[in-house]
Structure 1
Amino acid sequence: MTHTMPHGAAHLLAFIREAEVGRNDRASYDVIYAHRQGGLTKPLTAMTLGEVIAAQKTWSKAHGSSAAGAYQFMRATLVGLLREIPWLKEAQVFEPALQDRLGLHLLDRRGFASFVSGAISVTEFGRRLAMEWASLPVLAETDGDRRRVKRGQSYYAGDGLNKALVKPDELEAVLRQVLAASPSSDATPQPTAAVSPPTVRSEVRHRPVARSGRFWTWLLTAGGTIITALKELNLVALDWRVQLAILATIVGFAIYAISSMPAVRDALGLGR
């Protein structure tokens, strides 16, 4: 294993190797599908990545699958990784260290970091792993590759080729061990409750009396009332046009005074 392997990842990859090829030793890295590696001209771990990909073209017909190595990489998977990973080259030897790095890349692609951080559950991460490795079971009923599959079945159940080779309880136990081996997330700062800013009272400014709409409304109302009373007592004679102008002025100032009240402006959406 490489020294940069994240906490718990080495343990999980060892479990996957055993599930995929039935062993967890150095020889597991040389296994091809159906354990037909004895027919190879040289060990898988002595071949370059390019040689493995080229040889896999014939394995599907000859052996039923192109799966190769400790993590049973399919040819399409290796071709995809070669395009996806900048540092990966066809000339690199398909040795155990390289296979581990590629296995870790697949873990990361399936959400390993999110799993150990608590962002996804054991059940969800188990489903994602089952999508990558057919020997692993799903941990809850879900839609599989071909049909609806139950807990304990391979995600690829029904394809006539794959089936789960480990019990769901075993996978769950390993995943919980991975969580226990990962750095605790308890130290992660928790979001604090929002603190409302202190209420700041704005300075109250008084308008000059001469600019007050209420003042002029009251003044004109009083004046109009007086004039009307004098007219009724026949003490003053006003043309109807003058009376109409006085009424319009009073009404205008009344509207202005009312609309200038803060509560009224808020209700009308005019602001302060």
Structure 2
Amino acid sequence: MDKTVPPGAAILLDFVRETEVGTSDRASYDVIYGHNQDKLPQPLTTMTYGEVVDAQKGWSKRFKSSAAGGYQFMRHTLIDLAKGMPSIEQTDRFTPDLQDRLGYRLLVRRGYADFIVGKIGLVEFAERLAMEWASFPVLAATRGSERDVRRGQSYYAGDGLNKALVKPEKIEAVLRQVLDVARRPHEVEEEREVAPASAPLPKPKPKPVGKSGRFWTWLLTAGGTIITALKELNLVALDWRVQIAILATIVGFAIYAISSMPAVRNALGLK
């Protein structure tokens, strides 16, 4: 599936291919109406968009329908879709990715966005899908293309060519799944590296005592305090025993402050 197609729409498109051509694998993109792809000179997905549209001119007469690819695009549908998608060139290969983008555009034209946000209900959206793909049944009685049709019948019942190929209950189940997926937040989860719970956090290496700003701050402060005390208190006039006691107290406080530093205690082998 082309990466530009939303998840919910991708589910629906896979279901469309499986219902329309009988398979949703890679081979489904090469199918033409009536499974006549083996009669083509080359696989559909190797042809360009322009070559497919040109070849479809004769398919209606030869195969009874111009339906081509996994989504059974009619010739007029392909031409009309390309008008609304300027990025498509005549020389673009009719690859599965291109078919997916065209198929998604069909869903949008039939009201996919309105269905997802609840502007239209499941029954109405299913009828719109039945208008696009004849193999889909309507979910309620309605006026079809040729006549009144009942629940479970193709919108084109009575044209002598088309009929519903799937039960209405299956359509309901798929559309509910599409709603569930489309309305679910799709977030990209980033891989995160998480350290093991048992791994201890690395301990910061202690700074050498000689490079510690705190050490030198306390040391200079202590020295300045001693000098200031000698000047301001006029300690020289006091008894020598009093001087020693005062100086011892000041030095003791300075030593205690410095020794309380983690770097100093580690250097001295203290715990």
TM-score range, shorter chain: 0.5 to 0.7
Other-structure match for 2:25: 25
Other-structure match for 1:135: 135
| Aligned partner of residue 88 in structure 2, secondary structure | coil
Distance 2:69 2:107 in 1: 16
Q: Judging changes above 3 Å, is the alpha-carbon distance between structure 1 residues 86 and 118 closer, same or farther for their aligned structure 2 residues? A: same
Contact 1:7 1:183 in 2 (8 A): no
Is 1:183 aligned to residue 183 of structure 2? yes
Is 1:106 aligned to residue 106 of structure 2? yes
Other-structure match for 2:217: none
| Aligned partner of residue 70 in structure 1, secondary structure | coil
Other-structure match for 1:87: 87
Contact 2:138 2:155 in 1 (8 A): yes
Count the aligned residue pairs.
Answer: 185
Q: Note the residue ranges of structure 1 that are not aligned, 5 or more in a row.
A: 186-272
Other-structure match for 2:48: 48
Other-structure match for 1:154: 154
Other-structure match for 2:13: 13
AA aligned opposite 2:161? L
Is 1:173 aligned to residue 173 of structure 2? yes
Structure 1 runs of 4+ with >3 Å offset: none
| Aligned partner of residue 8 in structure 1, secondary structure | helix
Is 1:59 aligned to residue 59 of structure 2? yes
Contact 2:137 2:152 in 1 (8 A): yes
Contact 2:5 2:100 in 1 (8 A): no
Contact 1:134 1:154 in 2 (8 A): yes
| Aligned partner of residue 162 in structure 1, secondary structure | coil
Contact 1:17 1:23 in 2 (8 A): yes
Distance 1:25 1:65 in 2: 22
C-alpha displacement of 1:82: 1.8
Other-structure match for 2:35: 35
Distance 1:11 1:158 in 2: 30
Q: Note the residue ranges of structure 2 that are not aligned, 5 or more in a row.
A: 186-271
Q: RMSD of the alignment, in Å?
A: 1.1
* Superimposed CA distance per residue, residues 196-229 of structure 1 (whole angstroms, 9 cap, x where no aligned partner): xxxxxxxxxxxxxxxxxxxxxxxxxxxxxxxxxx
Contact 2:50 2:90 in 1 (8 A): yes
AA aligned opposite 1:43? P
C-alpha displacement of 1:147: 0.8
Equivalent residue runs for 1:249-264 within 5 Å:
none
C-alpha displacement of 1:176: 0.2
AA aligned opposite 1:108? V
C-alpha displacement of 1:7: 3.0
C-alpha displacement of 1:184: 5.1
AA aligned opposite 1:183? R
Distance 1:39 1:169 in 2: 36
Contact 1:129 1:136 in 2 (8 A): yes
* Superimposed CA distance per residue, residues 149-194 of structure 1 (whole angstroms, 9 cap, x where no aligned partner): 1100111111110100000000000000001112259xxxxxxxxx
Distance 1:165 1:133 in 2: 10
Contact 2:147 2:158 in 1 (8 A): yes
Contact 2:4 2:101 in 1 (8 A): no
C-alpha displacement of 1:4: 2.3
Distance 1:56 1:184 in 2: 40
Give the TM-score, by structure 2 length. Answer: 0.67
Distance 1:123 1:47 in 2: 37
C-alpha displacement of 1:89: 1.6
Distance 2:88 2:148 in 1: 36
Contact 1:82 1:90 in 2 (8 A): no
Percent identity, aligned pairs only, is 62
C-alpha displacement of 1:86: 1.4
